[in-house]
Amino acid sequence: MTMITAPMVGLSQALSRSLFKGFVDMKRIPKKVIYYNFLWLAACVAGLVIFGKFIVVLLFTENFLPTVPLILPLALAGLVSGLTLPHNNFLSAHTRGTELRNTSFIMGISNLMGNILLVPAYGAMGAAWVSFISCAVCSITRWSYYRWYIQQREVKE
């Protein structure tokens, strides 16, 4: 199922990677990067929710129709994951490896705990929602580190 949601995050990754070198000299991420990235991801989520069943049948077969309910939580996971890719690359460009390591650790812990709690009770749907929850936790943590870093730089200047 992630095969359907991967392209939406792919453009966010390409955008963030192409801006990496420029991020080194920037004080913050330009608002238009955040805005266009959000528009792209929101359009993808809408497209997947509206056309998901058709896409599953087109790319796979009708045998995969039971996976259609998984599209919403996985698309939302892609949305929150893609939203913070610019933040991730900005922090990386500013050598904030400790913070990025911490976000990965927090995501791993939330993923593990969520899978232990939800997968036995809800199966694949539980795993899909855990993906969303752990991506959201990671995204909130990255965004918080980004805001903290920006505030620290402003105080020094």
pLDDT on residue 38? 97
Segment 91-114 shows an average pLDDT of 95
pLDDT bin (cut points 50, 70, 90) of residue 17 is: very high
Name every residue whose Cβ is closer than 8 Å to that of residue 89 and which is 6 or more positions away in sequence. Answer: 16, 17, 19, 20, 23
Express each pLDDT in 35-54 by its tens digit.
999 999 999 999 999 999 99
Say how many CA atoms lie within 13 Å of 137 toward its Cβ.
19
Tell me 1's DSSP state: -
pLDDT bin (cut points 50, 70, 90) of residue 97 is: very high
CB 137 within 8 A of CB 106: yes
CA separation for the pair 81, 79 (Å, rounded): 5
CB 134 within 8 A of CB 110: yes
Q: How many residues does the chain have?
A: 157
pLDDT on residue 156? 74
Residue reference for tokens 């400790």: 98
| Long-range residue pairs from 126-135, CB within 8 A, at least 24 positions apart, any chain | 128/1, 128/70, 128/73, 128/74, 128/77, 129/73, 131/73, 131/74, 131/77, 132/73, 132/74, 132/76, 132/77, 132/80, 134/77, 134/107, 134/110, 135/77, 135/78, 135/80, 135/81, 135/107
Q: Is the pLDDT of residue 1 over 60?
A: no
CA separation for the pair 70, 11 (Å, rounded): 22
Segment 130-152 shows an average pLDDT of 95
pLDDT bin (cut points 50, 70, 90) of residue 119 is: very high
Q: Is the pLDDT of residue 3 over 80?
A: no
